[in-house]
Amino acid sequence: MGMTDAQLQDAWRRHHPYLVNLAYQMVGDIGDAEDVAQEAFTRLSRADGIDDVRGWLTVVAGRLCLDLVRSARHRYESATDTAALEAHSAHRAADPTDRVTLDDQVGDALLEVLGRLSPGERVAFVLHDVFKVPFDEIAETVGRPVGTCRQLARRARAKILRAGPPLKEVGSDEHRVVIEKFIAACATGDLAALTAVLDPTVWGVATLLGEPPLPPQINHGPDAVATNLLLYLGPGATLVGAPVGQPVLLGYAQRHLFAVLVLTVRDGLVVKIEATADPSARFSQGAP
């Protein structure tokens, strides 16, 4: 029989932003992440007797992501060649006519990070270290014993530590909770929920890309910061956490990256937001 329409809509509102974010950490592609979330909810619509909807969706999305990264492994293997990456970056830097977009910058970083991990390591690490899923549930997702999943996460952690400082805070519980609430509030346009995760002294600065360069936009206080965030992100935008460092959020519109937000978190609240945004990329995708 499956879920009723009302139940499915409620589950979508509560868990879809979380699921897209979770999938993105594992696959590194916003289109694939949104497709994984859509497929997970399609399966949810046909399922019966689910007590923990979020947990069920996490397991299903984890399996879908594992299958996806296994089948696409050849696309990432070249990223394990650090020398090749460095040569590629040096070539770009040497050519002033080459316009490096946000997609270019984040894409390179994702390739470097994701290429260090096997599919099993990536899924085990993201589920446990980033989203705090217990290893017994990860074992169900990966299809391996609990002990093996612990080893996969341990190996992934070691590789990521060798990757350097940008990843050192990826497992922070404080950052994870704040980012999850931040993403959910932006996805639903909930001004009250967004201001609730902002410190009373919060301020934000946005660097807008364009020709000619535009002056930075600065806002102070929870109301002004939250209102401007929702105004700019608005309907049609998708926020995900960047697996290249925390707490960093990436803003997508129609699967095109248009903004990078760096959050400074203290005592469970956001005290500063530094955004780099490309207005032409945001609004050229048909967003209001």
State mean pLDDT over 100-115. 54
Strand ranges for the chain from DSSP E: 198-208, 217-220, 237-241, 248-253, 256-266, 269-277
Instruction: Look at residue 110 in the predicted model and tell me its pLDDT.
Output: 56
Mean pLDDT, the chain, integer: 78
Measured in residues, the chain has a length of 288
Tokens of 5: 């329409």
Which pLDDT tens digit goes with each residue over 1-39?
Answer: 668 889 999 999 999 999 999 999 888 889 999 999 999
State mean pLDDT over 155-173. 63
Q: Tokens 């019966």 label which residue?
A: 48
Q: How far apart, in whole angstroms, are the C-alpha atoms of residue 20 and residue 191? A: 21
Candidates 3.10.450.50, 1.20.1260.10, 3.60.70.12, 1.25.40.10; CATH matching 173-283: 3.10.450.50
pTM for the full model? 0.74
In contact, 195 and 222? CB cutoff 8 Å: yes
Instruction: Look at residue 84 in the predicted model and tell me its pLDDT.
Output: 34
Candidates 1.20.140.160, 1.10.10.10, 2.40.50.140, 3.40.50.150; CATH matching 5-167: 1.20.140.160
With vertex at residue 244, the alpha carbon angle to CA 241 and CA 247, rounded to the nearest 5 degrees, is 45
Which pLDDT tens digit goes with each residue over 201-210?
Answer: 999 998 877 6
State mean pLDDT over 144-168. 77
Domain spans, the chain: 5-167, 173-283
Does the pLDDT of residue 194 top 90, yes or no? yes
